[in-house]
Amino acid sequence: MPTMPAGTLYRGKVGMWSWVLHRITGVAIFFFLLVHVLDTALVRVAPEAYNVVIATYQTPLIGVSELGLVAAILYHGFNGIRIALIDFWSKGAKYQNVMFWVVVGAAFVLFAAFAPRHLMHVFG
């Protein structure tokens, strides 16, 4: 009788979903980076031009979206360290599952510290 696949580092469960999330957050951060380099380049055009564009980052809609960006950066960065540890640490593959939850926990703690303060600034 066939049994369910146990799940490996890359198929099913944490190994696969951490990879999917790493890709999605990576693409999102990449496109923000393109916009962010361009908006910062406006400081070379005129102070007023930069101030007009940066004011859109301070609106409620974009302000809330920035929480998503920060969450994506925290996850992508910490999970990237997990990937490097899987590659370079002799016990990395063995502890990849628990390391994923450490990544989620660390990202959540920093996000919880950042989010209320940021929302107070955006809506204050």
- The contact set with other proteins (CB under 8 A) reads 23, 26-27, 29-30, 33-34, 37-38, 40-41, 43-44, 46-48, 50-51, 54, 57-58, 63, 66, 70, 73, 77-78, 80-81, 83-84, 87-88, 114, 117-118, 120-122, 124
Q: Which is nearer to other proteins, 14 or 29 (CB)?
A: 29
**Beta carbon of residue 13, minimum distance to other proteins (angstroms, whole number):** 21
Q: Which is nearer to other proteins, 84 or 102 (CB)?
A: 84
- Three-state DSSP state, 115: helix
Dist. CA 62–CA 49, nearest whole Å = 18
Q: Tell me how far CA of residue 6 lies from CA of 12, 48, 95, 99, in angstroms.
A: 8, 59, 16, 19
Q: Which is nearer to other proteins, 44 or 90 (CB)?
A: 44
Q: Which is nearer to other proteins, 27 or 98 (CB)?
A: 27
**Beta carbon of residue 80, minimum distance to other proteins (angstroms, whole number):** 4
| Helix, strand and coil in the chain, % to nearest 5 | 80, 0, 20
Environment class of residue 99 by beta-carbon count within 10 Å: exposed (0-12), middle (13-18) or buried (19+)?
Answer: buried
